[in-house]
Amino acid sequence: MISTGASLSQRLLHVGFILMVFAIAVPVVAGQKIELSVDVSKAGAKIDRNIFGQFAEHLGHGIYEGIWVGPDSTIPNTRGIRNDVVAALKALKVPNVRWPGGCFADEYHWRKGIGPQRAVSLNPNWGGVIESNVFGTHEFMDFLDQIGSDAYISINVGSGTPQEAAEWLEYMTAAQPTTLAKERAANGHPAPYKVGYLGIGNESWDCGGNMTPDYYLSQLKVYNRFVRNFNPAQQDKQRMLKIAVGPGGGGPEWTDWTETVMKAWQHHHWSWDIDGLSMHFYTVVRWPASFASAGFGETEYSQILKSTLEMEDLVRTHSAIMDKYDPQKKVAVVVDEWGAWYAPLAGSNPGFLVQQNSLRDAILAVLNLNIFARHADRVRMANIAQMINVLQAMIMTDKDKMVLTPTYYVFKMYVPFQDSTFVPVTFEPGTYTHGNISLPRVDAIAARDSAGRLWLEITNLDPNQPVEIEASLSGFVARSAAGETLTAPKVDSVNTFEVPNAVMPKSITAKLQGGKLALRLEPKSVTVISVEP
Ligand code: AHR
């Protein structure tokens, strides 16, 4: 996250307040015309499906109640895992899930979460509540199997040891009959698990141990050397990718961190290597997080969107440093915590990071995903924080009820972009101004999928004016076009348990004429169009 000097505990002490703003109704006038030029012959990098990754931490109701209800629950479940949540997540084709944290990971001791008797501990980072450890390694892997996703395991560098982390990986991945592999089998899983991604620490510059870059680097090398994946199926092409802790902002302390790790990596010895450098950036404007997640107006809408666009600079800044030491872009930027962080909802435990999710968050998600897509050659993985009931969630649950958020619908609309090929779009975005904030009126990306279809995403940030889009398509003969748009009456429209379908995609008509695509974007809307060759 961007650091402004406030510690995590200072941030958590803040209970939040609601900023009251009265929106001024502006009459809708004829839309401004914006021309896009899509050149399919100039296809770029692959948009890695992993940029649509999720993050599930032992925090609030992210795991317990959100995923895990236990096999004896009256809520329909499979081996304790909620069926409604699994079905919703399957539709997103979630590529990977980062677990068990976050800050939680650097205090997680995996042995407490295996076997018939689970040690009960505390979760000091997040509300100081009891951690039953009932959801552990086997339950997480079962959850991944059910939703069809890969494991991104964050190991404990802060308060653990290399031996503890090495043994966890042996427990999960060894195929040979070692004592740990036999223990795994006795606990119900004879076959080795696959671990696709390994995070070596989390925010080691802050909650992960307040390390200096040099100290972290020495830890990174040791963990890197000894924490091995033994799964025979992962020794070659599907080998586990290792991700080092990276920056949490763009200032000198963060560029220094990236410099330190990447400079060392450039001349790295055979005994250690990394495939990714993590980056965390929350859209918060200032700490402690104080923006309301619902009940806000256009001022907060424009402030938050302006703030989220800082992601572009962060990616550029750190990519430029990485380019010096890794011009072939072997090491990916992994934005494994991103999203909006608002004031906790009134009445919620402030340590549980509960917030609403509005149309504004859908637009915020799109702006970030589009930045990642435009930097697809370097940004090859990302994890929105967090999957269920925490921060910018896909899903919110309340006992047996579940609601899908506007952010969920964005991830669903973007499924066709997973592993597609980036196609450049050039356009003059126009300007949307509110008070002293000016933003691009329109954002857009395009991609081609493996079936040859062209996908176009266009966002109208302006909450008051529609936009007429005319897209010329070069290097592509279009036969038909169809699409969906996501909008709602207000920038802070939300889906609730009572009214779950207030913000949902609906179909939109796009006209094809003379090789051009014409469509009208509603104010504050996200639109995805598929164009058939
Ligand atoms: O996502 C919530 C917290 O934010 C994570 O645990 C931590 O890594 C970051 O500070």
The pLDDT of residue 25 is above 90: no
Assess whether the C-beta atom of 384 lies below 6 angstroms from ligand 1. Answer: no
Q: Which two tokens stand for residue 205?
A: 């510059």
Band of pLDDT at residue 31, cut at 50, 70 and 90: confident
Assess whether the C-beta atom of 293 lies below 6 angstroms from ligand 1. Answer: no
d(CA 303, CA 297): 10
- pLDDT at position 232, please? 98
The pLDDT of residue 426 is above 60: yes
CA angle 381–154–392, rounded 5-degree value: 60
Assess whether the C-beta atom of 101 lies below 6 angstroms from ligand 1. Answer: yes
Assess whether the C-beta atom of 203 lies below 6 angstroms from ligand 1. Answer: yes
Lowest mean pLDDT among 19-23, 331-335, 435-439, 465-469: 19-23
Band of pLDDT at residue 11, cut at 50, 70 and 90: very low
The SS3 of residue 474 is strand
The pLDDT of residue 12 is above 70: no
> Chain-wide mean pLDDT for the chain?
94
Assess whether the C-beta atom of 133 lies below 6 angstroms from ligand 1. Answer: no
Atom number of ligand 1 nearest to Cα 385: 1
Assess whether the C-beta atom of 106 lies below 6 angstroms from ligand 1. Answer: no
pLDDT digits (tens, 9 = 90+) for 142-179: 999 999 999 999 999 999 999 999 999 999 999 999 99
Question: What is the best residue among 202, 243, 334, 338 to mutate for testing ligand 1's pocket, by most ligand atoms within 8 Å of CB?
Answer: 202
- Write the DSSP assignment of 376-415 as a string of letters: TTTEEEEEEE-SBSSSS-SEEEETTEEEE-HHHHHHHHTG
- pLDDT at position 43, please? 86
Q: What percent of the chain has pLDDT over 70?
A: 94
Q: Stretch 299-320: mean pLDDT, rounded? A: 98
Instruction: Look at residues 257, 363, 258 and name the one whose alpha carbon lies nearest to residue 304.
Output: 363
CA angle 336–249–325, rounded 5-degree value: 80
Assess whether the C-beta atom of 385 lies below 6 angstroms from ligand 1. Answer: yes
The SS3 of residue 351 is helix
Instruction: Look at residues 263, 359, 247 and name the one whose alpha carbon lies nearest to residue 304.
Output: 359
Atom number of ligand 1 nearest to Cα 8: 10
Interval between CA 101 and ligand 1 midpoint (Å): 7
**Given strand 511-513, what is the order of strands in its sheet?**
425-427, 32-39, 467-474, 516-521, 511-513
Atom number of ligand 1 nearest to Cα 101: 6
Interval between CA 385 and ligand 1 midpoint (Å): 8
Band of pLDDT at residue 20, cut at 50, 70 and 90: very low
Adjacent-strand bridge partners of 258:
none
The pLDDT of residue 112 is above 50: yes
- pLDDT at position 16, please? 31
The pLDDT of residue 3 is above 70: no
In which element (H, E) is residue 445 found? strand 442-448
Interval between CA 416 and ligand 1 midpoint (Å): 29
Assess whether the C-beta atom of 462 lies below 6 angstroms from ligand 1. Answer: no
Q: Give the HSE-up count for residue 173: Cα atoms under 13 Å, Cβ half-sphere.
A: 24
- pLDDT at position 515, please? 85
Buried b (16+ CB within 10 A) or exposed e, 248-263: bbbeeebbebbbbbbe
Interval between CA 103 and ligand 1 midpoint (Å): 6
Assess whether the C-beta atom of 202 lies below 6 angstroms from ligand 1. Answer: yes
pLDDT digits (tens, 9 = 90+) for 435-468: 999 999 999 999 999 999 999 999 999 999 999 9
H-helix segments, 309-358: 310-325
Atom number of ligand 1 nearest to Cα 102: 6
Assess whether the C-beta atom of 1 lies below 6 angstroms from ligand 1. Answer: yes
Q: Stretch 216-241: mean pLDDT, rounded? A: 97
Band of pLDDT at residue 133, cut at 50, 70 and 90: very high
Band of pLDDT at residue 352, cut at 50, 70 and 90: very high
Q: Is 202 left (phi over 0), alpha (psi -120 to 50) or beta?
A: beta
Atom number of ligand 1 nearest to Cα 337: 1
- pLDDT at position 30, please? 60
The pLDDT of residue 26 is above 60: no
The pLDDT of residue 27 is above 90: no
- What is the CA 73 to chain-centroid distance, rounded? 29
Q: Whose CA is nearest to atom 6 of ligand 1?
A: 102
Q: Give the pairing of strands 442-448 and 420-423.
A: antiparallel
Q: Whose CA is nearest to atom 4 of ligand 1?
A: 102
Q: Whose CA is nearest to atom 9 of ligand 1?
A: 102
Q: Whose CA is nearest to atom 2 of ligand 1?
A: 102
CB 201 within 8 A of CB 161: no
- pLDDT at position 514, please? 86
Assess whether the C-beta atom of 103 lies below 6 angstroms from ligand 1. Answer: yes
Interval between CA 87 and ligand 1 midpoint (Å): 26
Q: Is 236 exposed, middle or buried (0-12, 13-18, 19+ CB in 10 A)?
A: exposed
Q: What is the DSSP letter of 452?
A: S
d(CA 32, CA 43): 28
Q: Which residues are designated catalytic?
A: 203, 337
Interval between CA 240 and ligand 1 midpoint (Å): 23
Q: Stretch 389-412: mean pLDDT, rounded? A: 98
Lowest mean pLDDT among 9-13, 137-141, 166-170, 336-340: 9-13
